[in-house]
Structure formats: C-alpha cells, structure tokens
A and B are shown apart, each in its own frame.
Chain A
Amino acid sequence: MKRQVPLVLCFVFGIAMIFTQFSPHTFSQGIHNEVTNWTHIITPFALVLAVATLIQTHWVRIRRRTTHWQYSIVVFAGLITMVAFGIRSGPKNRVFEWLYENVQVPMDATVFSLLAFFIASAAYRAFRARTFEATLLLISALIVMMGNVPIGDFLWNTVMAWTPWDNATSNASQWILDNPNLSSRRGVILGVSLGAISQSIRIILGIERSYLGGGD
C-alpha cells in the first residue's frame, strides 16, 4: 500500500499532465496550473525540514569539535543574522538588503569570477595537441577565439591582405559555430529529449521507482 498509492498517483497525474499539453480548454489548463502550484506549496515545507537538517548537522559538528568545526559557527552567525533582520519586515529591511547586496552578492560574484581561471586551466589541458582529435579541437578553438576578438580580423586583413577573403577569421569562426558545433549540439539535444521522454514514461508506468526513495 505504501508503494501502490504513490505509483497510482504518479500514473494518474502523469497522464493528466501530458494531456493538458494537448488541450487548451480552461478546465485542463486550470488543472495544469493547479498542480504546478501544488509543487510550489510543497517546497517551503521541505525547506523547513532542510534548514532543520542544516542546523542539526552544524550543531553536531560544533558539539563534537570535528575538523573545521569553526566554519559551522560562521554558518550559524550568517543564519541568525539574516533571520533576525529579515523576519521582521522581510527582504525590504534596510540591514537585510545591505547585507544581501554587500555581502552575499559580492561573494557570489567572487566565486563566479573564479570560472575564468578554471576555464583557462581546463582549456590548457583539453587543447594539448596529443592526439588527432585534440589537435582538431585546438585548431577550432584558436579560430573561434581569434574570430571573436577584433584583432583576429585585423591581423588577417593586414597580414593576409593578398587573399580574396576579407574578415576570414570571424567568418570561419561563425561557420564553425553555425555548422559543426550547432549540428552536434542538436544531436545531443535530440538524444536528451528522447531520453527524458523515455525516462518519464518509465516513471509514469512505475518501472522507474527511484523517486519513491529506493527499493522495489
């Protein structure tokens, strides 16, 4: 019974939600919107549980003085401060807003900006011309990079002025992006879409039951 009820609910709602995609009637669209809203309602309840888990995890760390337990104090400090200022007047509270804009946003931006360095190190490894494929990747990457900076076309038009092709680097770059790159991306998207449909059918039919928390 513990398994049957969720499976039946999943089947009924799964089939119903598929048909709402093909039915523009107010009734079916109403069902679609209502069910979508339910998922939004469930999330805050789960969030309470998640925050409780967070508090429990870090409290245990502090109590047991595990490795790097000091970081858990920072978590509590942040949590208590934001709740203290946010709970009274919501996100419009001046201190809450200030903390968000001057602490959280810059920290987010800092982590995001690390991406530039990670891209450089990953590109260095990926573009080492050790195999034919890697060499091809290196050449394509060089063309695309040169095509995306003004100096690329400038150099081509100056050094290779005798050739009949103007702005060849940006044109070649665009060709690579529009043809081999786009077609392979679409191939991946096609496979992903069919895979997602197949996975959904398995879930609706009750073949795939991992979302129930494991077991058969």
Chain B
Amino acid sequence: MTLNSRMQLILACFVFCLCAGVAFAQGLAPPTNVTAKDTPNDDGKSITLTWDAAAEDSGGITNYKILRGTTPETLEEIGDTKTTTTTTYVDSSVETGTDYVYLVRAVGETGETADSVPTAPVQATGQWFHTGKIPLFCAMLLFCAAIVGNIYYAQSGKEIFVRRIPGLEAVDEAIGRATEMGRSILYVLGMGAVDDVATIASMTILGQVARRTADYETPLRVPCRDPIVLNVVREMVKTAYLNEGRPDAYNEDNIFFLTQDQFAYAAGVDGMMIREKPAAIFLQGTFFAESLILAETGNSIGAIQIAGTDAEHQLPFLIAACDYTLIGEELYAASAYLSREPRLLGSLRGQDWGKLVIFVALVMGILLEPFGINWITALLQRVN
C-alpha cells in the first residue's frame, strides 16, 4: 500500500468515526411538541404539561425529567423521573398567577440528555365555572324550574292528585291506637344529623304527629341522637302543641338526648321499647345497621310500626319488620301528603316531572343504543 493510499484510508476512517459520533450524538432526539397549559376546570393550582413521545423511545431514551422555572435561565428539575410511555405531567405545586416555563429532558441509557425547547411562559388560573358540569347544571336548572313552576301552578288553586301512600294513611290509625290503649308513642329520628335531608323530612312528619298527639293528649317520646336535632325537635313539638292550643300537654322531658354512639343508642331505644311498651313506633330518618335491631324489638312488643328511610340498604329490613314503610322518596313526600299544603304538593308534581324526564331518557337511550345512536348515553354519562 502506498503512502497516499494509507493516508486515504486513515482519512476515511476518521470521517467514518466522525460521522458515527455525530450519529450517536443525535440518537437521543429531544421530546417534541412540548406544551404547557393551565389545567382546565381546577382551582388554579396546577399546570398540565404534554409532549410527544420521541421516535427513539424503544432505543436510547430511558426516562424523562421535567424542569421548571420562572424564566428559561432558572430551570430546575421537579418531580420524579417519568417513564418513556408517559407523555403528560400535571404540576400541582405551582402558585396561582406566577409565570412558569417548562422543559422536558430525555435521558439516555448512558446518562446523555436531550432537552426540548422551553415552553412559553404559562400561568395557573382558577376557573369560576366547571365547564364539564354544564349538562349537570342545565339538568339542575330544568328540574328546579319544573318544581317552582308547579308550585305556582298549585298556588293558583288547581287540584293536584297525589297517589295514596298507605304508610302515611296509617299515621292517624297508629296515633289513635296508642290513645285508645293509653300508651305512649315512640318517635325515632334515626342516625342523621340536622344537615341530613332525611332527618329534616322526618322532623316534618314529627311536627304533624305532634299536632295530633297534642289533640289526643297522647304522650310522645322522642329519644335524640344528635344534640342540634334535639333542640330543633323540642322547639318544633312545643310549637305544634301551642298551635293546637294545648301548651299544658307539652312535656319537655319526653324529648331528650340519649347518646351519639350508634349501638348504645339502639340499646337505649330498645330498652325504652321493652320497658314502656309504646303502642306506636315511628322509625323515620336515616338508619344503618341498627334499623333491624330497633324494628324487630318494636315488632316483638306488638307495637304498630311505621318506618321510612332513604337508606336503600336498610329498606328490606324495615319492610320485613314493620307494618308500613315509606320507601325512599315517600319519606320526602310525607310533609306534603300530611299537610296537603298546595305549595308542597306542587313541588311533588315537579319532582314527578323530573322522574318522567329521566324515565323517557332511559327508555330512549336503551332503544337507540342498539342502532349505534349513543348521544343520550354520552349525555347521561356527562351529567353523572
């Protein structure tokens, strides 16, 4: 080989090595399309970062690192390293109203890195309205409009039909029975606190029961679990007795605090049932595991029992053990049913309209789904 040929070979090797070096140096392609946006529908405490997975993922890149700073010069690593399949990162450690710049760094097997282009400055801002909840908001407005519209309809003096609810029809029967037997009535408001809608519904029924017991002078015993409920109930029963012109018949000692402990409460009420043998027992409100303990003890002493709860898990127990049970919504309808107040009856009608709309939507959704028309299903999923 001549000197010239050797020189050519060395030069060729040098060029090859140089090309190979450049090729390996460019093997770790930086993440592309890196975008940082304020996370939608949040309280302004996060920024969402997205990027495209680099083409050489399966080869050189082992993980990604996220860098954040208030300017491109102050970038610092945040969070844990991200796997190669990750292409999103939600930064929840930002301050509202501060500009942040992000950069995604691809890390290779030997520790070499490739940085993306820093993003434009972005701020996290809180949204005043959750756009994802628009269908739910519209459904709520429509339902409210139906109820308010029907309240006005009822106020105009038009007759509103309410189907017969046996459990509520039996209220007078139960009170009458207790009066005839000369025994007390036991009213249990359940485990709910005063912020529980079922407890409020139960208190409304209690108000109606108290009016009748005031008339008949039948002792009404109310053991309470919640201190606030105790005070509201005392005031309510007192007012009922006053309204009936029987303030002398009201006995504050009959409405008392028992305990806040679930099973101690059940044991206390059971003890009262066994000792006092009330002729009528009302179990109205929210109940949990103690429902059957109370209802079966009431059954064992032969009391007429009217139960009502919105806890669907306890309904079978109450239905099995009580004479009458208000199922779910019947509990909420009780105040309207017993008082026959037009505005309350109107709200019941509005409630039925809501049920009708949901029923029609469900039937249409079922019928249209086999034909590939699924916008009703999608809408109901969004409302949820």
A interface, CB within 8 angstroms of B: 18, 21-29, 39, 42-43, 46-47, 49-51, 53-54, 57, 60, 67-68, 71, 104, 107-108, 111-112, 114-115, 118-119, 121-123, 125-126, 185, 188-192, 194-203, 205, 207-208, 210-211, 213-215
Contact = CB atoms under 8 A, between A and B. Distances in A.
The 8 closest A-B pairs by CB, nearest first: A213-B235, A214-B239, A50-B227, A195-B332, A195-B329, A46-B227, A214-B236, A191-B329
A68 B271 CA distance: 11
A208 B204 contact: yes
B339 to A, nearest CB: 10
B230 interface: yes
B130 A207 contact: no
A124 B267 CA distance: 23
22 contacts: A18-B140, A21-B133, A22-B137, A23-B127, A24-B43, A25-B128, A26-B126, A46-B226, A46-B230, A51-B257, A54-B256, A107-B263, A115-B292, A115-B293, A118-B292, A118-B297, A185-B312, A192-B312, A194-B351, A207-B151, A208-B344, A211-B200
Given A46-B227, A195-B328, A195-B329, A23 B148 contact: no
Interface in B68-96: 96
B310 interface: yes
B263 A112 contact: yes
Contacts of A189: 312, 328
B227 A22 contact: no
A103 to B, nearest CB: 11
A23 B335 contact: no
A64 B231 CA distance: 24
A111 B148 CA distance: 46
B308 to A, nearest CB: 11
Interface string B157-189: 000000000000000000000000000000000
Contacts of A208: 200, 204, 335, 344
B342 to A, nearest CB: 10
Nearest to B258: A54
Q: How large is the interface on B (under 10, 10 to 19, 20 to 34, 35 or more residues)?
A: 35 or more
A26 B333 contact: no
B263 A111 contact: yes
B296 A198 contact: no
Given A23-B130, A46-B228, A195-B328, A114 B293 contact: yes
A196 B45 CA distance: 33
A107 B315 CA distance: 26
A39 B43 contact: no
Interface string B239-283: 110110000000001001110111110110001000100000000
B357 to A, nearest CB: 10
A207 B347 contact: yes
A112 B147 CA distance: 41
A53 B257 contact: yes
B371 interface: no
Interface string B93-108: 0001000000000000
Contacts of B340: none
Given A29-B43, A54-B257, 18 more contacts: A22-B136, A27-B126, A43-B228, A53-B256, A54-B256, A67-B275, A107-B267, A111-B266, A114-B293, A118-B297, A125-B320, A194-B355, A194-B358, A197-B140, A198-B347, A201-B144, A208-B335, A210-B204
Contact of A199 (B43, B201, B207): B201
B272 to A, nearest CB: 10
Contacts of B258: 54
B257 to A, nearest CB: 4
A195 B355 CA distance: 10
Interface string B31-71: 00000000001111100000000000000000000000000
Contacts of A126: 319-320
A13 B358 CA distance: 28
B237 to A, nearest CB: 7
Nearest to A39: B195
A202 B354 contact: no
Contact of B328 (A23, A188, A197, A207): A188
B307 interface: no
Nearest to B343: A207
Contacts of B238: 213-214
B352 to A, nearest CB: 9
Contact of B127 (A25, A125, A195): A25
B228 A42 contact: yes
Contacts of B379: none
A202 B349 CA distance: 13
Contacts of B312: 185, 188-189, 192
A50 B275 contact: no
Nearest to B210: A214
B129 interface: yes
Contacts of B25: none
A188 B327 contact: yes
Contacts of A53: 230, 256-257
A210 B200 contact: yes
Given A43-B227, A188-B315, A198-B347, A210 B203 contact: yes
Given A112-B289, A115-B293, A214-B240, A199 B41 contact: no
A114 B263 CA distance: 11
B207 A210 contact: yes
Nearest to A201: B147
Given A190-B355, A195-B332, A26 B295 contact: no
